[in-house]
Chain A
Amino acid sequence: MTEKQKIMAVASVGGHFVQLLTITKALEKHYEIIYCSTHDNCRDLVGEREYYLMEDFNRKTPWKLMAGFIKQVRMIKEKRPVAVISTGAAPGLAALMAARVCGVKTIWIDSIANVQRLSASGRIARMFVSRIYTQWPALADGKVIYAGNVLNQ
Protein backbone atom coordinates (compact mmCIF):
# COMPACT_ATOMS: atom_id res chain seq x y z
CA MET A 1 0.00 0.00 0.00
CA THR A 2 1.31 3.43 -0.89
CA GLU A 3 1.86 5.88 1.94
CA LYS A 4 -0.89 8.48 2.39
CA GLN A 5 -0.16 12.04 1.34
CA LYS A 6 0.19 14.52 4.18
CA ILE A 7 -1.89 17.59 4.73
CA MET A 8 -1.44 20.16 7.45
CA ALA A 9 -4.56 21.45 9.25
CA VAL A 10 -4.29 24.71 11.19
CA ALA A 11 -6.80 26.65 13.32
CA SER A 12 -7.00 28.69 16.51
CA VAL A 13 -8.34 27.11 19.69
CA GLY A 14 -12.14 27.23 20.17
CA GLY A 15 -14.77 27.37 17.46
CA HIS A 16 -12.21 27.52 14.66
CA PHE A 17 -10.61 24.27 15.78
CA VAL A 18 -13.98 22.56 16.38
CA GLN A 19 -14.93 23.38 12.78
CA LEU A 20 -11.54 22.26 11.45
CA LEU A 21 -11.95 18.83 13.10
CA THR A 22 -15.48 18.51 11.73
CA ILE A 23 -13.95 18.73 8.27
CA THR A 24 -10.61 16.95 8.71
CA LYS A 25 -11.94 13.92 10.64
CA ALA A 26 -13.63 12.93 7.38
CA LEU A 27 -10.36 13.49 5.50
CA GLU A 28 -8.29 11.24 7.78
CA LYS A 29 -9.07 8.16 5.72
CA HIS A 30 -7.61 9.85 2.63
CA TYR A 31 -4.62 11.69 4.11
CA GLU A 32 -2.20 11.72 6.99
CA ILE A 33 -3.13 14.88 8.86
CA ILE A 34 -0.75 17.02 10.89
CA TYR A 35 -2.59 19.38 13.25
CA CYS A 36 -1.51 22.80 14.53
CA SER A 37 -3.37 25.00 16.99
CA THR A 38 -2.82 27.70 19.58
CA HIS A 39 -3.55 25.87 22.85
CA ASP A 40 -2.29 22.61 24.31
CA ASN A 41 -5.90 21.61 25.09
CA CYS A 42 -6.41 20.91 21.38
CA ARG A 43 -3.87 18.09 21.56
CA ASP A 44 -6.46 16.02 23.44
CA LEU A 45 -8.88 16.36 20.54
CA VAL A 46 -6.73 14.90 17.74
CA GLY A 47 -6.14 11.41 19.15
CA GLU A 48 -3.05 9.70 17.74
CA ARG A 49 -2.40 12.31 15.05
CA GLU A 50 0.67 14.54 15.06
CA TYR A 51 0.02 17.82 16.85
CA TYR A 52 2.07 21.02 17.08
CA LEU A 53 1.44 24.07 19.20
CA MET A 54 1.71 27.49 17.60
CA GLU A 55 1.65 30.92 19.16
CA ASP A 56 -1.62 32.83 19.02
CA PHE A 57 -1.87 36.32 17.63
CA ASN A 58 -4.49 38.68 16.26
CA ARG A 59 -4.78 42.08 14.67
CA LYS A 60 -3.61 43.74 17.89
CA THR A 61 -0.34 41.78 17.82
CA PRO A 62 0.62 41.80 14.12
CA TRP A 63 4.38 41.55 14.79
CA LYS A 64 3.80 37.98 15.92
CA LEU A 65 2.54 37.12 12.44
CA MET A 66 6.10 37.17 11.12
CA ALA A 67 7.32 34.72 13.78
CA GLY A 68 4.33 32.46 13.11
CA PHE A 69 4.99 32.65 9.39
CA ILE A 70 8.67 31.69 9.73
CA LYS A 71 7.87 28.80 12.05
CA GLN A 72 5.28 27.50 9.59
CA VAL A 73 7.69 27.76 6.64
CA ARG A 74 10.16 25.58 8.58
CA MET A 75 7.47 23.08 9.46
CA ILE A 76 6.21 22.84 5.88
CA LYS A 77 9.77 22.31 4.57
CA GLU A 78 10.26 19.55 7.12
CA LYS A 79 6.88 17.78 6.90
CA ARG A 80 6.28 18.27 3.16
CA PRO A 81 2.46 18.34 3.14
CA VAL A 82 0.72 18.51 -0.25
CA ALA A 83 -1.78 21.05 1.09
CA VAL A 84 -2.38 23.30 4.08
CA ILE A 85 -5.97 23.86 5.18
CA SER A 86 -7.31 26.40 7.69
CA THR A 87 -10.63 27.54 9.15
CA GLY A 88 -8.99 30.64 10.74
CA ALA A 89 -8.18 32.86 12.34
CA ALA A 90 -4.96 34.96 12.00
CA PRO A 91 -2.52 32.09 12.82
CA GLY A 92 -4.19 29.99 10.11
CA LEU A 93 -3.77 32.87 7.69
CA ALA A 94 -0.02 32.99 8.50
CA ALA A 95 0.21 29.23 7.88
CA LEU A 96 -1.44 29.63 4.47
CA MET A 97 0.96 32.46 3.58
CA ALA A 98 3.84 30.13 4.48
CA ALA A 99 2.32 27.35 2.38
CA ARG A 100 1.93 29.71 -0.55
CA VAL A 101 5.61 30.69 -0.35
CA CYS A 102 6.56 26.99 -0.22
CA GLY A 103 4.47 26.21 -3.32
CA VAL A 104 1.99 24.01 -1.46
CA LYS A 105 -1.78 24.06 -2.13
CA THR A 106 -3.57 26.51 0.16
CA ILE A 107 -7.18 26.07 1.29
CA TRP A 108 -9.17 28.56 3.38
CA ILE A 109 -12.57 27.54 4.77
CA ASP A 110 -14.23 30.61 6.23
CA SER A 111 -15.83 30.12 9.66
CA ILE A 112 -19.56 29.45 9.80
CA ALA A 113 -19.75 32.40 12.22
CA ASN A 114 -19.35 34.74 9.22
CA VAL A 115 -22.87 34.97 7.91
CA GLN A 116 -23.04 38.32 6.15
CA ARG A 117 -19.52 38.71 4.76
CA LEU A 118 -16.24 36.79 4.81
CA SER A 119 -14.08 37.22 7.92
CA ALA A 120 -11.29 39.83 7.83
CA SER A 121 -8.73 37.00 7.56
CA GLY A 122 -10.84 35.35 4.86
CA ARG A 123 -10.84 38.53 2.79
CA ILE A 124 -7.03 38.58 2.93
CA ALA A 125 -6.83 34.84 2.19
CA ARG A 126 -9.06 35.38 -0.85
CA MET A 127 -6.26 37.35 -2.50
CA PHE A 128 -3.68 34.56 -2.56
CA VAL A 129 -5.03 31.11 -1.68
CA SER A 130 -5.53 28.37 -4.26
CA ARG A 131 -9.01 27.50 -2.97
CA ILE A 132 -11.45 29.37 -0.71
CA TYR A 133 -14.77 28.15 0.66
CA THR A 134 -17.60 29.88 2.49
CA GLN A 135 -20.07 27.88 4.59
CA TRP A 136 -23.03 30.02 3.50
CA PRO A 137 -24.48 29.81 -0.03
CA ALA A 138 -25.21 33.56 -0.12
CA LEU A 139 -21.51 34.43 0.26
CA ALA A 140 -20.33 32.35 -2.72
CA ASP A 141 -19.13 34.17 -5.81
CA GLY A 142 -16.86 33.44 -8.79
CA LYS A 143 -13.87 32.80 -6.54
CA VAL A 144 -15.43 31.80 -3.20
CA ILE A 145 -17.01 28.33 -3.31
CA TYR A 146 -19.94 26.97 -1.32
CA ALA A 147 -19.93 23.15 -1.17
CA GLY A 148 -21.54 22.47 2.19
CA ASN A 149 -20.82 23.24 5.82
CA VAL A 150 -20.40 21.91 9.35
CA LEU A 151 -24.18 21.85 10.01
CA ASN A 152 -24.56 18.39 8.49
CA GLN A 153 -27.67 16.67 9.85
Chain B
Amino acid sequence: MIFVTTGTQEPFDRFLKIIDAIVPYLHEEIIVQAFRDIYNPKNFSLREFISPGEFVSIMERSRLVVSHAGMGTILSALRMDKPIVVFPRVAAMGEHRNEHQIESANKMYDMGYVYLASDENALKSYMLKKDIQPLKKIDNKASDSLINSLVDFIG
Protein backbone atom coordinates (compact mmCIF):
# COMPACT_ATOMS: atom_id res chain seq x y z
CA MET B 1 0.00 0.00 0.00
CA ILE B 2 1.18 3.51 -0.79
CA PHE B 3 0.31 6.41 1.52
CA VAL B 4 0.19 9.84 -0.10
CA THR B 5 -0.12 12.87 2.19
CA THR B 6 0.17 16.62 1.59
CA GLY B 7 -1.05 18.15 4.83
CA THR B 8 -4.33 19.82 5.69
CA GLN B 9 -3.36 23.45 5.35
CA GLU B 10 -3.14 24.33 1.67
CA PRO B 11 -4.17 22.91 -1.70
CA PHE B 12 -1.74 21.05 -3.94
CA ASP B 13 -3.80 20.28 -7.05
CA ARG B 14 -0.82 20.04 -9.41
CA PHE B 15 0.43 17.12 -7.32
CA LEU B 16 -3.03 15.48 -7.08
CA LYS B 17 -3.38 15.55 -10.90
CA ILE B 18 -0.04 13.76 -11.21
CA ILE B 19 -1.05 11.14 -8.62
CA ASP B 20 -4.35 10.67 -10.48
CA ALA B 21 -2.43 10.02 -13.70
CA ILE B 22 -0.15 7.45 -12.00
CA VAL B 23 -2.82 5.47 -10.10
CA PRO B 24 -4.02 3.39 -13.13
CA TYR B 25 -0.49 1.94 -13.45
CA LEU B 26 -0.14 1.00 -9.78
CA HIS B 27 -2.26 -2.15 -9.28
CA GLU B 28 -1.91 -1.52 -5.57
CA GLU B 29 -3.95 0.08 -2.77
CA ILE B 30 -3.36 3.80 -2.31
CA ILE B 31 -4.58 6.15 0.42
CA VAL B 32 -4.46 9.86 -0.40
CA GLN B 33 -4.81 12.64 2.17
CA ALA B 34 -4.92 16.20 0.87
CA PHE B 35 -6.68 19.53 1.14
CA ARG B 36 -9.68 19.54 -1.21
CA ASP B 37 -9.52 22.44 -3.65
CA ILE B 38 -10.80 22.55 -7.24
CA TYR B 39 -9.43 19.36 -8.76
CA ASN B 40 -11.67 16.32 -8.47
CA PRO B 41 -9.62 13.10 -8.68
CA LYS B 42 -10.99 10.32 -10.90
CA ASN B 43 -8.92 7.36 -9.79
CA PHE B 44 -8.88 7.62 -6.01
CA SER B 45 -11.02 9.03 -3.22
CA LEU B 46 -9.45 11.88 -1.38
CA ARG B 47 -9.36 12.06 2.41
CA GLU B 48 -9.20 15.56 3.81
CA PHE B 49 -8.51 14.78 7.46
CA ILE B 50 -6.89 11.80 9.15
CA SER B 51 -6.51 11.70 12.95
CA PRO B 52 -2.97 11.38 14.38
CA GLY B 53 -3.69 7.80 15.53
CA GLU B 54 -4.95 6.68 12.14
CA PHE B 55 -2.13 8.55 10.41
CA VAL B 56 0.37 6.43 12.33
CA SER B 57 -1.47 3.16 11.63
CA ILE B 58 -1.77 3.90 7.89
CA MET B 59 1.91 4.80 7.73
CA GLU B 60 2.84 1.61 9.55
CA ARG B 61 0.89 -0.47 7.02
CA SER B 62 2.33 1.28 3.97
CA ARG B 63 5.36 0.12 1.97
CA LEU B 64 6.01 3.63 0.63
CA VAL B 65 5.15 7.18 1.71
CA VAL B 66 4.78 9.94 -0.89
CA SER B 67 4.41 13.46 0.43
CA HIS B 68 4.96 17.17 0.03
CA ALA B 69 8.21 18.29 1.69
CA GLY B 70 6.60 18.80 5.11
CA MET B 71 9.07 17.97 7.87
CA GLY B 72 6.42 16.43 10.16
CA THR B 73 5.64 13.74 7.59
CA ILE B 74 9.30 13.24 6.67
CA LEU B 75 10.29 12.77 10.34
CA SER B 76 7.38 10.38 10.96
CA ALA B 77 8.28 8.22 7.94
CA LEU B 78 11.99 8.08 8.85
CA ARG B 79 11.19 7.03 12.42
CA MET B 80 9.07 4.15 11.14
CA ASP B 81 11.86 3.21 8.72
CA LYS B 82 9.66 3.79 5.66
CA PRO B 83 10.98 4.91 2.29
CA ILE B 84 9.63 8.37 1.50
CA VAL B 85 9.48 10.25 -1.80
CA VAL B 86 9.07 14.00 -1.42
CA PHE B 87 7.49 16.22 -4.04
CA PRO B 88 8.11 19.80 -2.90
CA ARG B 89 5.57 22.60 -3.14
CA VAL B 90 6.72 25.46 -5.36
CA ALA B 91 5.96 28.95 -4.08
CA ALA B 92 6.41 30.36 -7.60
CA MET B 93 3.33 28.27 -8.54
CA GLY B 94 1.37 29.56 -5.53
CA GLU B 95 1.68 26.28 -3.62
CA HIS B 96 3.41 27.69 -0.53
CA ARG B 97 4.42 31.00 1.01
CA ASN B 98 8.13 30.65 0.26
CA GLU B 99 10.51 28.17 -1.36
CA HIS B 100 11.59 26.47 1.85
CA GLN B 101 10.07 23.14 0.75
CA ILE B 102 12.41 23.03 -2.24
CA GLU B 103 15.36 23.96 -0.03
CA SER B 104 14.60 21.44 2.70
CA ALA B 105 13.75 18.69 0.17
CA ASN B 106 17.06 19.22 -1.63
CA LYS B 107 18.97 19.21 1.65
CA MET B 108 17.28 16.02 2.87
CA TYR B 109 17.91 14.41 -0.51
CA ASP B 110 21.59 15.46 -0.54
CA MET B 111 22.00 13.98 2.96
CA GLY B 112 20.46 10.71 1.83
CA TYR B 113 17.27 10.77 3.91
CA VAL B 114 14.63 10.95 1.15
CA TYR B 115 13.89 10.26 -2.50
CA LEU B 116 13.11 13.43 -4.44
CA ALA B 117 10.73 13.91 -7.36
CA SER B 118 9.65 17.11 -9.01
CA ASP B 119 7.79 15.83 -12.07
CA GLU B 120 5.41 13.06 -13.07
CA ASN B 121 8.01 10.75 -14.65
CA ALA B 122 10.32 10.76 -11.64
CA LEU B 123 7.44 10.24 -9.23
CA LYS B 124 5.91 7.47 -11.33
CA SER B 125 9.16 5.49 -11.50
CA TYR B 126 9.58 5.66 -7.71
CA MET B 127 5.96 4.65 -7.09
CA LEU B 128 6.15 1.69 -9.47
CA LYS B 129 9.40 0.41 -7.97
CA LYS B 130 8.19 -2.48 -5.82
CA ASP B 131 11.48 -2.96 -3.99
CA ILE B 132 12.12 0.67 -3.03
CA GLN B 133 14.13 0.62 0.21
CA PRO B 134 14.06 2.79 3.35
CA LEU B 135 17.09 5.11 3.46
CA LYS B 136 17.89 6.14 7.04
CA LYS B 137 16.08 5.42 10.27
CA ILE B 138 16.00 8.16 12.88
CA ASP B 139 15.28 8.13 16.60
CA ASN B 140 12.14 9.65 18.09
CA LYS B 141 14.32 11.79 20.35
CA ALA B 142 16.50 14.72 19.32
CA SER B 143 20.32 14.70 19.62
CA ASP B 144 21.62 14.23 23.18
CA SER B 145 23.85 17.27 22.67
CA LEU B 146 20.79 19.46 22.04
CA ILE B 147 18.92 18.04 25.05
CA ASN B 148 21.98 18.54 27.30
CA SER B 149 22.44 22.10 26.08
CA LEU B 150 18.79 22.85 26.92
CA VAL B 151 19.01 21.28 30.38
CA ASP B 152 22.22 23.24 31.13
CA PHE B 153 20.54 26.46 30.08
CA ILE B 154 17.20 25.94 31.84
CA GLY B 155 18.89 24.77 35.04
- Give me the interface of A with B, judged by CB distance under 8 Å: 5, 7, 14-19, 22-23, 25-27, 30-31, 41-42, 44-45, 82-83, 85, 105, 107, 109, 111-116, 119, 130-131, 133, 136, 145, 147-153
Contact = CB atoms under 8 A, between A and B. Distances in A.
Interface of B: 7-9, 51-53, 69-73, 75-76, 78, 100-101, 103-104, 106-107, 111, 113, 136-151, 153-155
B153 A30 contact: no
Contacts of B78: 151
A87 B114 CA distance: 22
Nearest to B140: A22
B147 A26 contact: yes
Contacts of B150: 23, 27, 85, 107
B149 A25 contact: no
Nearest to A138: B107
A146 B105 CA distance: 20
Contacts of A130: 153
B52 A153 contact: no
8 contacts: A23-B150, A25-B141, A26-B147, A83-B153, A83-B154, A115-B104, A148-B147, A150-B142
B51 A111 contact: no
Among B53, B100, B104, B142, chain A packs the most CB atoms within 10 A around the CB of B142
A143 B146 CA distance: 16
B81 to A, nearest CB: 11
